Amino acid sequence: MANKYPYVPSAGPIVKTIDHLRRRSFPSEITADTLRKLGVAPKNESYVINVLRFLGVIDDEGKKVESKTDAFVQHKEEEFQREFGALVEAAYDELFELHGDGAWEMDRSSLTQYFRTSDHSSDVVGTRQAATFAALAGLAGRTTAPSQREATPRKATPKKPKVAGNSGGTKSEQKHDGEKAVLNAGDGGESKVGLTVRIEVNLPADGDQQTYDRIFKSIRKNLIDGE
């Protein structure tokens, strides 16, 4: 069953089409081929035509309805918005009959709820129907664009670790895998550097006591006692 309320996958094509029809000229007939030639709704021609039919500005054959297109010849923005808003109200009469002027300011979730229950549409379609109405409301100047009205929470930006300075006798520690360097600033501005090296020894599982003694003796001779 066809949906009563039209929708577009995204607001861009319908906004671009309305803007073109307003600022250029409204053709006597609008078909999918017309929109393809204008390049205003690539791959979304049928969706946009359904919206234009729903608003009543073209008939089922795509012919321009003269009595419904006065808004598109208004030069002043406020005049266009006023008349275009009247088209939207007339098309969505049941929505406005139920919610009055408050329909303009309904949030996306409430709009989706209305369209899904009214049209028995799926979650995806209902969401798109709500987005389409919000885009038309924006063109009518009755609300801000959905992308501005419904801000997406920003992801927290990881903070870079701060390294304390070494002035005034403070201590700065920089840790790395396998070593740690500690810088101490003395009273005379001299710096002493201490280096700690971590050594990892893998002992053979089948080694005897003498093997282990030789390994540790070598470590002491070459690394601890050696100069």
pLDDT digits over 78-133, tens only? 999 999 999 999 999 999 999 999 999 999 999 999 999 999 999 999 999 999 99
Residues 97 and 191 in one domain: no
Rounded to 5°, angle at Cα 96 from 92 and 102:
130
Given pLDDT bands bounded at 50, 70 and 90, which one contains residue 163? Answer: very low
**Mean pLDDT on 14-26:** 94
Is the pTM value of this prediction over 0.85?
no
Residue 80, classed as helix, strand or coil, is helix
Range of the domain at 172: 163-199
109 and 187 in a common domain: no
- Cα separations in angstroms, 110 against 11, 33, 104, 114, 178: 18, 35, 11, 6, 57
Compute the CA torsion angle 26, 30, 33, 34 (nearest 10 deg): 0
**Residue 143 and residue 184 in one domain:** no
Name the residue with tokens 């002043």: 76
Residue 119: name the closest of 101, 140, 139, 95 by CA: 95
68 and 173 share one domain: no
Let me know whether 182 and 83 are in one domain. Answer: no
Grade residue 204 by pLDDT with cuts at 50, 70 and 90: low
Helix (H) or strand (E) holding 131: helix 123-139
Same domain, 135 and 185: no
Does residue 3 lie within any of the structural domains?
Answer: no
